[in-house]
Amino acid sequence: MSRIAYVNGQYVRHADAAVHVEDRGYQFADGVYEVCEVWQGRIVDMPRHFDRLDRSLGELRIDWPMARAAFEFVVRQVVRRNRVRNGLVYIQVTRGVSRRDHFFPPEEVAPSVVVTARSTSTEAANAQAAKGISVVSYPENRWPRVDIKTIALLPNVLAKQNAKENGGKEAWYVDTDGFVTEGGSTNAWIVTRDGTLVTRPAESGILRGITRTVILDLIQKEGLTFEERPFSLEEAYDAKEAFVTAATSIVMPVVQVDDRTIGNGHPGSVSTRLREVFHTATDFQMV
Amino acid sequence: MSRIAYVNGQYVRHADAAVHVEDRGYQFADGVYEVCEVWQGRIVDMPRHFDRLDRSLGELRIDWPMARAAFEFVVRQVVRRNRVRNGLVYIQVTRGVSRRDHFFPPEEVAPSVVVTARSTSTEAANAQAAKGISVVSYPENRWPRVDIKTIALLPNVLAKQNAKENGGKEAWYVDTDGFVTEGGSTNAWIVTRDGTLVTRPAESGILRGITRTVILDLIQKEGLTFEERPFSLEEAYDAKEAFVTAATSIVMPVVQVDDRTIGNGHPGSVSTRLREVFHTATDFQMV
């Protein structure tokens, strides 16, 4: 089966999925995106992702490309047409196609929409989670509006590539005060030696992760101790556990930060438990 | 005549010029660009633009998509096939098409190349220059690597749109120390009350503009007084003249900064002179 993508009103073969070279997403990074997990044939927390998409579009003053219900239908269709049971669905909206000019284009220019989906291996992800990952710290060098989920991801690309070249799977941004902000494409968490879960408030310098929000619910449910505050890289080095969260990795244990082993070098019990029970706290949309 | 674009090895109708939705330029802003002026049927300072492209590609570790001579041939061809005598040629290179993943793609993924050209009205530009433009200050909020000419231009889009909505044609970024860094798509200059030209060193917080470099040559030729140093927004308010430089606007006089009139509110003599003699200091490539 060839993969199918949705591009500006049409379902096309993935190989043929193309946008004009003067799409503002291509020349100005003038667009936003969302990635939802597909789990057992259902889309995880789509309403929350669409709520965040609404906020991102609003911050950039990009119009909704279609009614929300119609857009949700398209997303479900793309998942269904690609027969994804476990995987991801990717949603991108840009300010549309117009002759290159930094200023917003005329009112009549419609936003561009791309939706793609693909299967991922649950076994491979679980095997990775059983081992844990290494993260590599990186000086925070992004613009301050990282609360908007934009496609201007070049800084994240470079930070993550640096992590990879230093044996890691994720970068942790560290601000000038020595505090971890977030990962290159994940939110960052630690569990302190006294068992307290810590993550940075979404109000300052990070994206408000959907998976992060689910974890906050789970923490309540599970009766865990939690502090929402910045933590330093030094504190992370000495943590009992660490993990990252994102729709693409759910809860992924971190067993090394830079050259420092976290805890006993194996995924911690809190991280592992949160990963196991994750889908008890999510909402599902049938495709 | 329909316009022609070059896209990944082919000359195509501009209307059909498309790239894959998983081009990393579209999903990650993972690419760089150049814009050259076309003046009287000749490409202005192409070697300097290609030198800067080489630096941008090197900083991001994107391979040259083809030999430089072949690339220069393509650029000349696109100008010729569009019969541009006065206008612009736009060159973009991205890290290529690969399944979405922040990390650099496998070695075998080739960079993507797009070249477009279009005519612009010399009369309209000169009419604008005769009047001058207003600029609107904006807090510097870009990442520190603005020395690389990347397509991650969303911050610039927002700053320039803010300028437009406040009656301006350009934004001037102001850093936390109160100094002007550069424009949203131009370099920023003032002429002080004692006749000294001032612009910020290219070593800190700005792009090394090609047009800026030509102006430096012209300043020598014309025997003008010059200081390469940061200037504050307050100093700009009190300047005798101000102007911006870029391949798209050459030397464009600034007659207002925020709500402050510059000089007598008309283009200054130094700015006007530099605009007039600009092409005596440039290099040309026949198309």
Identify the CATH number of the domain defined by range A128-280: 3.20.10.10
A-B CB pairs within 8 A amount to 136
Strand positions, DSSP E, A132-217:
133-139, 170-174, 180-183, 187-191, 197-199
User: What is the residue whose two structure tokens read 């044609």?
Assistant: B169
What pLDDT does A1 receive? Answer: 53
Contact predicate A102/A28, CB 8 Å: yes
**Mutation site, A14, A21, A143, interface B, largest B CB count within 10 A:** A21
Task: Give phi and psi for A148, each to the nearest 5.
Answer: -95, 135
Greatest CA separation for chain B? 59
Q: Which residue of B has its CA nearest to A8?
A: B21
Report the pLDDT value the prediction gives residue A82, as an integer from 0 to 100: 98
Are residues B174 and B139 in contact, defined by beta-carbon separation less than 8 angstroms? Answer: yes
Residue B14 CA to residue B25 CA, distance in Å, equals 18
Domains A4-119 and A128-280 share a fold: no
Query: Cβ separation of A20 and B23 shorter than 8 Å?
Result: no
Of the CA atoms within 13 Å of residue A52, those in its CB half-sphere come to 23
Q: What is the pLDDT of residues A185-211, one digit of tens each?
A: 999 999 999 999 999 999 989 999 999
Could you confirm whether B164 is annotated as catalytic? no
- Full pLDDT tens readout for chain A, 287 residues: 569 999 999 999 999 999 999 999 999 999 999 999 999 999 999 999 999 999 999 999 999 999 999 999 999 999 999 999 999 999 999 999 999 999 999 999 999 999 999 999 999 999 999 999 999 999 999 999 999 999 999 999 999 999 999 999 999 999 999 999 999 999 999 999 999 999 999 998 999 999 999 999 999 999 999 999 999 999 999 999 999 999 999 999 999 999 999 999 999 999 999 999 999 999 998 88
Mutation target for A interface from B12, B22, B27: give the one with most A CBs within 10 A.
B27
Q: What is the pLDDT of residues B188-232, one digit of tens each?
A: 999 999 999 999 999 989 999 999 999 999 999 999 999 999 999
Residue of B nearest to A150 (CA): B154
Give pTM, 2 decimals: 0.97
Residue ranges of domains in chain B: 4-119, 128-280
Give the sheet arrangement for strand B31-39, strand by strand.
Answer: B10-13, B4-7, B112-119, B87-94, B31-39, B42-44, B284-286
CA-based nearest residue in chain B for residue A163: B103
Nearest CA of chain A to the CA of B143: how many Å? Answer: 5
CB contact under 8 A, A102 and B18: no
Q: How does residue B286 score in pLDDT terms, banded at 50, 70 and 90?
A: confident
Q: Contact at 8 Å (CB) between A79 and A42?
A: no
CA distance B30 to B98: 12
* CATH architecture of the region A4-119: 2-Layer Sandwich (3.30)
Give Cα A26 distance to the centre of its chain. 21
Q: Is A6 helix (H, G, I), strand (E, B) or coil?
A: strand
pLDDT reported for residue A68: 97
* Cβ atoms A90, A117 nearer than 8 A: yes
Is residue A153 a contact partner of residue A169, using CB atoms and an 8 Å limit? no
Residues 6+ positions from A10 with CB-CB distance below 8 Å: none
What's the pLDDT score for residue B207? 96
Q: Which of A26, A144, A184 sits opposite B26 (nearest CB)?
A: A26
